[in-house]
Structure 1
Amino acid sequence: MSRRQILRATVVGPLMVACLVTACQPEPKRGGVQVVEPGTAPATTAASAAPSQPPAPLTGVPAGTPAVTTRPALAVPLRVTPSTTPTGLDAADVVYAEFAESDSLHLTAVFHSREAAKVGPVTEIRPVDIRSVAVLRPFVGYAGGPTGFLAQFKDSKLGGVTPDDDDKAFSGDHTSTAALWRAAPKAAPPPTPVLDYATTPGDALAGRDLAPARQLTVSVPGGPPMVWRYDAAKRVWTTRVGKATVAATSVVVLTTEYRTIDVRKPSFRSLPSAKVFGQGAAVAVSGPSGAKGTWRKPGQDLVCNVVDADGGLMHPQPGNAWVVYVSSTAKVTLG
């Protein structure tokens, strides 16, 4: 079922796990980008994939083989500091980014349409991972975590594997998509689409207040800014994450509440945590355009809607996406 069929189903049927809005809500108007509270893919991906294949659900780009559209998604949390060189992000379909402690980023990389021979550094599971990707029902490769976070993961009913469970799926603090797919249940379903992609290259990102954009800057108090720049030749947005340069077809910034979580087991520490559920301001870029709007995610098993200023769903170009959670104290600017 396509993303638009899912949208239509929410108007005439009861609420389903994969639906975007409750049955009592009107269908959002077409007009701009739709995201899940959120990848990185070069523009050559669409050209290299076989155009005769159906679109991969998380990118809208023709799948390389029929088997791609039926396999489950994978999710891997990564911890990235300014001195880290992360691997595998260029193959992820969707990446969620949370600003973590000590100028680090906690990333949730979701893989489905492409392979990654090396992914890492793999880190502990955190609430943002579970709440962002539960709607996709991925198989998760992670490095344990605090007792309370592990309890939340168990309650989510998501499947996963750690080095303690299967050391063959990991090499140090790295893994691979091949190893995780071998460990995943064979009957697991594919993910539901999370973006309502533009159907033609001329489709606009938003139906109102669309503006030319060449730079997206996220300035966070007490830390270095995250600056995305548009590469017109490759038609992607690029930024530095740790010591690596990453690219995305679309970037969506969601303003939300951050709170401090005190972890006591196995050792005491305080961690910042983005509130994934709720609603707030949003800024999206895709192609050479940007737009401001709002986002809404009512619960863990629902996709996050991003709509433009006129209430229409935003429509990014097919490809990979990054979704960045920022606090209300952050400054998000388009240039």
Structure 2
Amino acid sequence: MRRLSARRRTRTRVRTGAAVAIALAALASGCTIDPSGADGKPPSGAGGGGTVLAVKIDNVRPARPHTGLDAADLVYVEQVEAGLSRLMAVYASRLPPAIGPVRSARETDIELLRQFDRPVLAFSGAQSKLLPLIDDAPVRAVPPGKAPRDAYYRGGGKPAPHNLFLRPDALKVSPRAGALESAGIRFGPKPAGGTPETRRTVRFPAARFTFDWVEYEGRWRITMDGERARTSGGKELSASTVVVQYAKVRPSRFHDRSGNVSPFTETVGEGKARVLREGRAYDARWKRTTAEDGTEFTTADGKPLPFAKGQVWVVYAKA
């Protein structure tokens, strides 16, 4: 597993501490939907680079069907305000023509993305007090106000705010598939053991996800809130591996415009997980020592637990 040098970790702690102090000192409240980028600085994510592209994607009913989600290598499912869900799609091997709908970032995303090396983060905006933390995080943040003019557009036949889409090519990102290893993603043969399982449902307070194993297709079919998940082009969404990762979900110090407190999912630490692949379920343990480390997934006897090749979904369920 990749680890940072002591010097780099020290710099990261110093920068993060300064950003926390700034955020706590801020007096403004509410949510900034679209950072203006009025400081005149060049787009932080433009001009190339970036080991992966991470896009924050809306996931309420009016936002579906999604565009470009089937091209992601890795999809994280997070709980947000009012018990709803939001997705973080990570692209490491290929970029589709368009991705969306794009929505705002959360504090959970900052910690989650530290396991990648300077990822590019595309999002619509963030709560005003959270913006300093995002600016100081080791990510290349490219909301609309800091991205090239043609990177974002409104469309898709959806009502605002569920109609913001991204043209990833405009960001000039150069993702590489090997970057997934830094997050603990390992592919390999099916391990021994496990138990037969063809359906698993994960429930949030106001959202639910069901994964059904389709033997003749060799994939887990995805259902969201009781509806079959499809792309805007009509393609069914599916996963080769599903990880139900049980983690602590607690209130953060941030909230949305309506005053609903944003949940914070603790992705650093350790706990239980349930890994689904090829029609079987494996009881597993996950461990992530620091925010700069990837997440290790191991079987009950402590051996590394590889995933099936293809798209991976990680659903953060409340421990």
TM, length-normalised to structure 1: 0.69
SS in structure 2 of the partner of residue 83 of structure 1: helix
- Which of 153, 163, 169 is 2:151 aligned to? 169
When residues 290 and 163 of structure 1 are mapped into structure 2, their CA distance, relative to the original with a 3 A threshold, is same
Q: Which residue matches 2:54?
A: 75
- Which of 142, 146, 158 is 2:123 aligned to? 142
> What does 1:23-38 correspond to in 2, within 5 Å?
none
Q: Is the 8 A contact 2:69 2:99 kept in 1?
A: yes
Distance in 2 (CA, whole Å) between partners of 1:195 and 1:309 is: 18
Q: Which amino acid aligns with 2:134?
A: F
Distance in 2 (CA, whole Å) between partners of 1:237 and 1:99 is: 21
- Which of 169, 184, 203 is 1:219 aligned to? 203
Q: Is the 8 A contact 2:81 2:260 kept in 1?
A: no
Distance in 2 (CA, whole Å) between partners of 1:92 and 1:263 is: 28
Q: Is the 8 A contact 2:201 2:208 kept in 1?
A: yes
Deviations along 1:63-112, one digit per CA (max 9) or x if unpaired, are: xxxxxxx9731000112113321221100000111122335211110012
What is the aligned-residue identity percentage? 23
What are structure 1's unaligned runs of at least 5 residues?
1-5, 18-69, 329-335
Query: Residue 313 in 1 paired to residue 299 in 2?
Result: no
Q: Which amino acid aligns with 2:56?
A: P
Distance in 2 (CA, whole Å) between partners of 1:87 and 1:308 is: 34
Q: Which residue matches 2:11?
A: none
Aligned length: 254
Distance in 2 (CA, whole Å) between partners of 1:204 and 1:228 is: 18
C-alpha deviation, 1:157, in angstroms: 2.2
Query: Residue 102 in 1 paired to residue 82 in 2?
Result: yes
When residues 266 and 219 of structure 1 are mapped into structure 2, their CA distance, relative to the original with a 3 A threshold, is closer
Distance in 1 (CA, whole Å) between partners of 2:63 and 2:55 is: 16
Q: Is the 8 A contact 2:92 2:176 kept in 1?
A: no
C-alpha deviation, 1:179, in angstroms: 2.1
Q: Which residue matches 1:235?
A: 218
When residues 190 and 154 of structure 1 are mapped into structure 2, their CA distance, relative to the original with a 3 A threshold, is farther
Q: Give the structure, 1 or 2, with the largest relative contact order (CA under 8 Å, sep 6 or more).
A: 1
C-alpha deviation, 1:275, in angstroms: 1.2
When residues 103 and 82 of structure 1 are mapped into structure 2, their CA distance, relative to the original with a 3 A threshold, is farther
- Which of 172, 178, 187 is 1:197 aligned to? 187
Deviations along 1:171-225, one digit per CA (max 9) or x if unpaired, are: 1211022123x2x4x7999625132211xxxx323x4x411221112134x4343
Q: Is the 8 A contact 2:93 2:176 kept in 1?
A: no
Q: Which residue matches 2:109?
A: 129
TM, length-normalised to structure 2: 0.72
Query: Residue 271 in 1 paired to residue 254 in 2?
Result: no
For the aligned residues, what is the CA RMSD?
2.6
Q: Which residue matches 2:294?
A: 303
